[in-house]
Amino acid sequence: MKSGAASRRRVKSVLTSLMMVFILLNQWSLTSFKRMFEHKELVEGTWPWAYQALCFSCGYFAYDQQDMLQYRLYSGFIPSILIHHLVLLICFTLALYRRITINYLILTLICELHSVFLHVRKLRRMAGVRDAESRVVKVEWILNWIMFVFTRLVSHILITGKLIKDASKFEKGIEWPLAMLGMAGMNLLNAFLGIDLFNAFKKEKKPQQNNPKRHE
């Protein structure tokens, strides 16, 4: 069951990444870059195919959450992946139901570009390519860190900053508090992921440092 769930996540990450790139480039070709990130456009507007992409992601998160709970495909007392899915499901479901902040949520899904590289790393290790000194592993780690920084840390921090800056432009209601809560959760999970990624990087380097004979 775990291998099946992992395969579904890989396919979902690739499809979502392709959809995000298509939606953003398509919208950029239809309007100016500045107008794309105006408050009214992000909160009240819906870019072409954005609603469908969010429906796809929401449906996947709901199915994956149920699958992990039913077959206990998680570890730890408070699994971060279950919290991640729960936060996204609450935000996505409300946004889809009320048809607001669709474009904001599309921007948060840029992080799926990094998820692709996380899956590439798993496939690379499954294939037995684990030599930290090999060019393939070095390039993969460089790309992994670049995507982590720009598609998770930088993008989500910028989205959070945009929400804070435009707080007064939101109508009174649950939208702004929920958006801030969701971004706070995402930023916290990104920090935990960064720590896990750094530990994995050190672990992969450690065998090379502890076994110098391999380089003789």
Distance CA(213)–CA(216), nearest Å, equals 5
| Letter string b/e over residues 91-105, b meaning 16 or more CB atoms within 10 A of that residue's CB | bbebbbeeebbbbbb
Instruction: Tell me if 42 is assigned to some domain.
Output: yes
DSSP state of 75: -
Instruction: Tell me if 89 is assigned to some domain.
Output: yes
Instruction: Tell me if 131 is assigned to some domain.
Output: yes
Distance CA(132)–CA(212), nearest Å, equals 12
Number of domains within the chain: 1
Instruction: Tell me if 67 is assigned to some domain.
Output: yes
Cβ neighbours of residue 110 closer than 8 Å, sequence gap 6 or more: 20, 151, 155
What would the pLDDT profile of 187-210 be if each residue is shown by its tens digit?
999 999 999 999 999 998 886 555
Longest dimension (CA), the chain: 68
Residue 63 structural domain:
1-205
pLDDT-derived band at 213, boundaries 50, 70, 90: very low
For residue 88, CA distances in Å to 175, 190, 198 come to 14, 14, 25
DSSP state of 111: G
Query: Tokens 């990087």 identify what position?
Result: 201
The pLDDT assigned to 77 comes to: 78
Instruction: Tell me if 214 is assigned to some domain.
Output: no
How much is the average pLDDT of 112-141? 92
Instruction: Tell me if 212 is assigned to some domain.
Output: no
pLDDT-derived band at 68, boundaries 50, 70, 90: confident
